[in-house]
Amino acid sequence: MKLQLKIWRQKSADSTGRFETYTVEADEHMSFLEMLDVLNETLIHEKKEPVVFEHDCREGICGSCSMVINGRPHGPMQGTTACQLHMRSFKNGDTITIEPFRAKSFPVLKDLSVDRSAFDRIIESGGYISVNTGQAPDGNSLPIEKDLAGKAFEAAACIGCGACVAACPNGSAMLFTSAKVSHLGLLPQGAVEHSARVQNMVNQMDKEGFGMCSNTEACEAECPKEISVENIARLNRSYMASIMGSEK
Amino acid sequence: MWIIKFLTSSIGRKLIMSLTGLFLCLFLVVHLIGNLQLLIPDGGETFNRYAYMMTHSPLIKIIAYGNYFFILLHAVQGILISLSNKSAKSQKYAVSTNANSSWASKNMMLLGLLVLAFILIHMGDFWFRMKAEGGFLGEGWVAMLTYEGIGEPVANLYDRVVITFSQLWIVIVYLIGLVALAIHLNHGFASAFQSLGLNHKKYTPLIKGLGKAYSILIPLGFAIIPLYVFFTNL
The predicted pLDDT at position A196 comes to: 97
pLDDT reading at A71 higher than 90: yes
For the segment B33-42, the average pLDDT, to the nearest whole number, is 96
Domains and CATH numbers, chain B: 2-232 (1.20.1300.10)
Chain B CB contacts of A235 below 8 Å: 11, 197
- Hey, which residues 95-154 in chain A have their CB within 8 Å of chain B? 97, 99, 102-105, 107
Q: Is B45 left (phi over 0), alpha (psi -120 to 50) or beta?
A: alpha
CATH number of A2-109: 3.10.20.30
pTM reported for the whole predicted model: 0.94
Contact B99 A221 (CB under 8 A): yes
For the segment B81-110, the average pLDDT, to the nearest whole number, is 93
Chain A CB contacts of B89 below 8 Å: 102-104, 168-171, 211
The predicted pLDDT at position A81 comes to: 97
Query: Is A117-245 a CATH 3.40.50.11540 domain?
Result: no
What mean pLDDT value characterizes chain B? 95
For residue A77, give the nearest of A206, A163, A5 by alpha carbon.
A163
The domain ranges of chain A are 2-109, 117-245
Pairing of strands A113-114, A108-110: antiparallel
Greatest C-alpha distance within chain B: 68
The predicted pLDDT at position B111 comes to: 98
Give, in order, the Cα–Cα distances in Å from A203 to each of A5, A173, A182, A242.
Answer: 40, 12, 17, 12
Contact B197 A234 (CB under 8 A): yes
pLDDT reading at B131 higher than 90: no
What CA–CA distance (Å, rounded) separates B122 from B108?
Answer: 20
Assess whether the region A2-109 and the region A117-245 belong to the same CATH fold: no
The identity of residue B97, as a single letter, is T
The predicted pLDDT at position A138 comes to: 85
- pLDDT tens digits along A10-23: 999 999 999 999 99
The predicted pLDDT at position A70 comes to: 97
- pLDDT tens digits along A120-145: 999 999 999 998 888 888 878 889 99
Q: What is the ipTM of this complex?
A: 0.92
Chain B CB contacts of A212 below 8 Å: 10, 13-14, 81, 84-85
**Among the partner residues B15, B89, B196, nearest to A104 by beta-carbon distance:** B89
The Cβ of residue A78 has, within 10 Å, a number of other Cβ atoms equal to 11
The model's confidence at residue B13, banded by pLDDT at 50, 70 and 90, is very high
Quote the distance between the C-alpha of residue B58 and its chain's center.
Answer: 22
- Hey, which residues 157-216 in chain A have their CB within 8 Å of chain B? 167-172, 174, 202-203, 205-206, 209-216
The predicted pLDDT at position B234 comes to: 78
The predicted pLDDT at position A9 comes to: 98
> Hey, which residues does B135 pair with through a beta bridge?
B138
